[in-house]
Chain A
Amino acid sequence: MTSQDLHLLSAAYALDAVDDDERTKFAAHLETCPDCQEEVAGFRRTLTRLSGASAEVPRPDLRDNVLTTISQTRQATPWVPADIAPIGRRHANRSWQGWAAAAAAVVAVAAGGFGWQQHSQSQHIRDDYSRAQAQTAAMQRILAEPDVRAEHARNSSGSEMTVYRSARAAKAVVVPATMPALAANQVYQLWVVAKGTPLPRQVMTGRPEIVDGVHPGDAIAVTVEPAGGSLVPSGPPVLQANA
């Protein structure tokens, strides 16, 4: 799919008229396309007006049901702001760990053919279940490739990730384990290093990522970039998984 095709998908994406695979692809594209973000945001405001126009009063007794339920429901852990997070140590950011658990569950399916249902019930994953769903099918396909191989990368400051790559799919699944929090204006970005040349890939979201265009011999690298990502790396990789 070319980026022009992807751009056309903005309306279908805002309308939830895409399948999980395309939702994942477009969401990754959104991270690096400010124009698309603006367009999708405008479409969502438009659809909000449409929804407001078809509002309908629900049965009054549902209010008590909901209020009782929430009084017994734990709220999600907030994202840990960068400035109070410990830097350079194993950082207990729940979202990263949660998503590592999600990926582990995906791997369990690939390895054993069962267990996903069970794992998907864990609290971490429920916290952001929709995004897990969106990524799961596509990841399962990569992880189920017969030639999938795992590489583990870590550095002295505590960053860790696992890369599952398949030459057949020409894709990799990158699972961040622990990554120190960054300042608010910085992001982690993925790169495919082909014959020494870093090719830009998406900004990391904290969740397992699918990296496209990964060929035998390519390395997968992570750099710290200004918000929005870069076309050429701003510095040396903080993590790199070699073939």
Chain B
Amino acid sequence: MTLDPIPLRRPTPLPKPIPLRRPLHVRTPRLRGADGGLDELITQVSRGDEEAFARIYDELSSTLFGIAKRVIRDPSRAEEVMQEVMVEIWQQATRFDSSKGSVRTWACMIAHRRAVDAVRREETSRRSERREGSRNAQLDFDEVAETVVDQFEYTQVRKCLDTLTQLQSEAVGLAYYRGLTYPEVAALLDVNLSTIKTRMRDGLIRLRDCLGTGITT
């Protein structure tokens, strides 16, 4: 049996130019305070306040659509999932527990879970499609450069992603941006299971420490 040669580390592509068609100021300025007032808003939503929910939608729809699109790829399916997640946020607002994290983190967690559920339900053919193309989280991440809303945040995260080793970045990226399970990632990268689990963990620790997201604020 012959094995494919191990690919050399791909050269990091130059940052793509900021597209002209989407002006930078489309981002609505966040109200200062607790993350755009999301924590206050969710309390109002839990009492059935539809107006407060509309503000949550405005604050989170881009982020949640971004998550769904990264994982699912198909834009119309990603739109469906984003809408389902929004309705779930409406329904579950009554049970949101702020001691377990912020509204934004809670919403992102639901969106990623739903996006992953959606791709895992699909056919095997679609799954193999997800494995094609780039194996590199940084390359996956670069794909978004043209459409991201928040260029500053993009640059910050990009810098931190660059501090990961190639294997760490592949392990985290294939799971997060493709929705693969860790055994699938291990098979794809031809690495054993415990190595993959470990690289996912030390990769996330490195990212966490770089972004300063380890400490609750």
Q: Is the CB of A49 within 8 A of B213?
A: yes
Q: Bound complex: CA of A46 vs CA of B58, how far in Å?
A: 22
- Whether a CB of chain B sits under 8 angstroms from the CB of A15 is yes
Instruction: Mark interface residues in A64-82 (1 if CB within 8 Å of B CB, else 0).
Output: 0111011101111111000
For chain A, residues 141 to 192, give those with C-beta under 8 angstroms from any C-beta of chain B: none
Q: Which of A54-62, A85-93, A98-106, A196-204 lines the interface with chain B? A: A54-62
Q: Is the CB of A52 within 8 A of B197?
A: no
Q: Is the CB of B157 within 8 A of A50?
A: yes
Q: Bound complex: CA of A57 vs CA of B156, how far in Å?
A: 20
Size category, B interface? 35 or more
Residues of chain B contacted by A49 (CB below 8 angstroms): 153, 156-157, 211, 213
Residues of chain B contacted by A50 (CB below 8 angstroms): 157, 176, 207
Q: Is the CB of B175 within 8 A of A15?
A: yes
Q: Is the CB of B200 within 8 A of A15?
A: yes
Q: Which of B2-10, B11-19, B91-99, B122-130 lines the interface with chain A? A: B91-99
Q: Is the CB of A58 within 8 A of B67?
A: no
Q: Bound complex: CA of A165 vs CA of B213, how far in Å?
A: 43
- Whether a CB of chain A sits under 8 angstroms from the CB of B165 is no
Size category, A interface? 35 or more
Residues of chain B contacted by A78 (CB below 8 angstroms): 46, 94-95
- Whether a CB of chain B sits under 8 angstroms from the CB of A231 is no
Smallest beta-carbon distance B169→chain A, Å: 12
- 15 inter-chain pairs at a CB distance below 8 angstroms, sorted by A residue, are A15-B182, A17-B181, A42-B213, A43-B204, A44-B109, A46-B211, A50-B176, A53-B153, A56-B147, A57-B62, A69-B87, A70-B86, A70-B90, A75-B90, A78-B46
Which residues of B come within 8 Å of A, CB atoms? 22, 26, 46, 48, 50, 53-54, 57-58, 61-67, 69-70, 79, 82-83, 86-87, 90-95, 100-102, 104-105, 108-109, 111-114, 116-117, 141, 144, 147-150, 153-154, 156-158, 172, 175-176, 179-182, 185, 194, 197-198, 200-201, 203-205, 207-208, 211, 213-214, 216
